[in-house]
Amino acid sequence: MTKKLSQAAQVAKNIKQVAKKYGMKVTASSQYYAGGNSVRVKVLTGSDDDVKKLKDYSLMYEAGSFDGMNDIYNYDNVRDDIPQTKYLFIDDERAQHIVNNLKGNKYDDYTWKVDGEQVRSWLQFSNQLQKVSSNQPGFEWNTVFLSLVEDLNKSSASGIGFPYNGKNFYVGKIKTNQEAA
């Protein structure tokens, strides 16, 4: 006996298959609750262009939009020929996926700097990298970020930096003071 997928699960499956055709790695899940359902897609790898194409493609799977001003859901994109979900979220988690590859505690063992100024987190670091890359056709910020993390993991140095499109980026390992017992 074959289990039939819910509409939201079908949407998640379809989007995941298209992402795979684009060469992207994603996770997709669906959820049902009182008043509706949703699909959440987390993008883990892929180019900025592929993320945009996936988001554009996925628009057809959302049945409408929420109007917060009037507190109503408008069914303004209903289609009977495809499965649809009430809410669709496509979350760009490429930077998080890259940071998860760092050795050590991802949040406490590293310092992130742009042009010599420490930024509060890897997220601000990757946002700066994205801004700089947007002016540089043919270069993907996530490829540069991944290379930096991989080089830092392979290195015995306390940090690694590089100039990129007019800015200097640096990731350093924070040395922890550990006393012998």
pLDDT in tens, 58-100: 999 999 999 999 999 999 999 999 999 999 999 999 999 988 8
Q: Which of 3, 7, 4 is nearest to 61 (CA)?
A: 7
**Which class in CATH covers the domain with range 7-92?**
alpha beta
Q: With pLDDT > 90 as the criterion, what percentage of the chain qualifies?
A: 60
Domain ranges in the chain? 7-92, 96-173
Q: Which of 137, 112, 116, 138 is nearest to 127 (CA)?
A: 112
Whether pLDDT at 1 is above 50: yes
For 49-57, which contacts have Cβ atoms below 8 Å and span 24 or more sequence positions?
A: 50/19, 50/22, 50/23, 50/24, 51/24, 51/90, 51/92, 51/94, 53/22, 54/15, 54/18, 54/19, 54/22, 54/24, 54/26, 54/90, 55/90, 57/15, 57/18
Is the pTM higher than 0.95? no
Provide the pLDDT confidence category of residue 134 given band limits of 50, 70 and 90: confident
Q: Which residues of 70-85 are buried (b: 16+ CB within 10 A; e: fewer)?
A: eeeeeeeeeeeeebbb
